[in-house]
Structure 1
């Protein structure tokens, strides 16, 4: 099975980039499942039902979230009915939505789990323990398991990947919006990447206008960070090939599309 994963979609420009490039990436790569992190798609923080459906219409099979999952209040009106939307599974008990979903591909099943780190983010439940709990049930159904680990710290992401090595097919990081250069397959067969990168503006700072960010660093005064909705864009992604019998990853390759790395035969 081949999985295509696109990182943090920021604002309307990010959505336009998915709509523009996903058909060509699918033509070239022929993935069986496409997963997109959409937690920044609504004005840079959160997601709405309209934008969730726009990602599905663009060719997405599963949408993952992160620490901004509930920034838009209307998510409470649809998240429980959104079968292809997963928020971090280690949110406390009683939080709406689900932390994983299972995708059927012909006769094969793929579980997609969303987890959130705790270092420099909200002190929610332990992702390591929650992963253990979920896998107790999921591995009875399928050995193919993809984890979007939404975290700030590289060491926490790598630690979780080693902790789950051999029990999941991939642990791919999101949240920091900068694609890292450490794609690898761990000793027991789990694909790992600290951060897949973002999809949005290539001109600002992590997808938002640079002036308020610089002002905040200079003064330490609060500033409103607004996504850049036009101009040059970038798309960060990766694809992973998984053995359908064992669930082990056979290949992981990063994808970067921007002004300096235009789309080519990937």
Structure 2
């Protein structure tokens, strides 16, 4: 099975990069399933029904969220109506968080894909333990029997926490990929148990920026410690950042993982992707 995961879509520029590149990528790479982290899709903060619809229309099968899940209040009701929207799984048990943190999908070819969204706890919101939360889901829906693929979005600040999650889920998930820090890491690999892993997928954003935001306000705050206003998404051409994964049909474990970076300032040629397309 071939699928792709794309990192945090930031504002209009990020949404446009998805619309410009994803339809052709789906055809060229033979993608059966696409997951996009969309928690920054609406002007850099949260998601709305309209922005979600843009991403679905561009070819996304599932949208994951993160610490900005509820910045746009309409998301609280939209997520109840939209099963393709997945929020962090590890909200405290006594907290009413609408929607779902894990969702099973069926592709057009009849394969079952479990998507899980987790929120880290290091320098992040005080949620429940993501490790025990994901362990319960993986025990209830084993890869290779109940699911043909398992995709885990670990939305976290600390690289160590993301790496620990990758090893914790190794052999039980097709892909563990980090989001939230918006900078694509160079460590795409298949772990010893067969799980594809990358510490951060990067953002679908204009990289003439500070992690996707216009430079002026972050620079002001760093140099003067005084806020001059809200962060605003950078509006130049965005780079579409993510990962491509191919799995073994029998086990659901990864056979290959390759980074994807198309358009904007980080665009690069990835020969292995061209090889995949020609297979």
The answer to whether TM tops 0.5 is yes
Superposition pairs for residues 38-117 of structure 1, below 5 Å?
A: 38-93=38-93, 94-105=96-107, 106-117=109-120
Matched, 1:183 2:188: yes
- For 2:55 and 2:40, the matched residues in 1 are separated by 12
Report the alpha carbon displacement of residue 107 of structure 1 after superposing the two structures with TM: 2.9
Give the number of aligned pairs: 265
Report the alpha carbon displacement of residue 72 of structure 1 after superposing the two structures with TM: 0.5
- For 2:193 and 2:24, the matched residues in 1 are separated by 32
Structure 2 gaps of 5+ residues are: 274-279
Report the alpha carbon displacement of residue 166 of structure 1 after superposing the two structures with TM: 0.7
Q: Cα RMSD between the aligned structures?
A: 1.4
- For 1:165 and 1:213, the matched residues in 2 are separated by 37
Structure 1 gaps of 5+ residues are: none
State the SS of the aligned residue for 2:220: helix
2:6–2:243 Cα contact (<8 Å) kept: yes
Greater than 4 Å deviation, 4+ residue runs: 262-265
State the SS of the aligned residue for 1:233: coil
Q: Deviations over 1:54-78 (max 9, x none)?
A: 1111111000111100000011121
TM norm structure 2? 0.91
State the SS of the aligned residue for 1:73: coil
1:134 to 110, 132, 137: 137
2:77–2:98 Cα contact (<8 Å) kept: no
1:143–1:167 Cα contact (<8 Å) kept: no
Matched, 1:9 2:9: yes
Relative distance call for 1:260 and 1:155 in structure 2 (3 A) is closer
2:234 corresponds in structure 1 to 228
Q: Deviations over 1:138-176 (max 9, x none)?
A: 226215211011011111001011111111111000000
Matched, 1:118 2:124: no
Matched, 1:259 2:265: yes
State the SS of the aligned residue for 1:166: coil
State the SS of the aligned residue for 2:74: helix
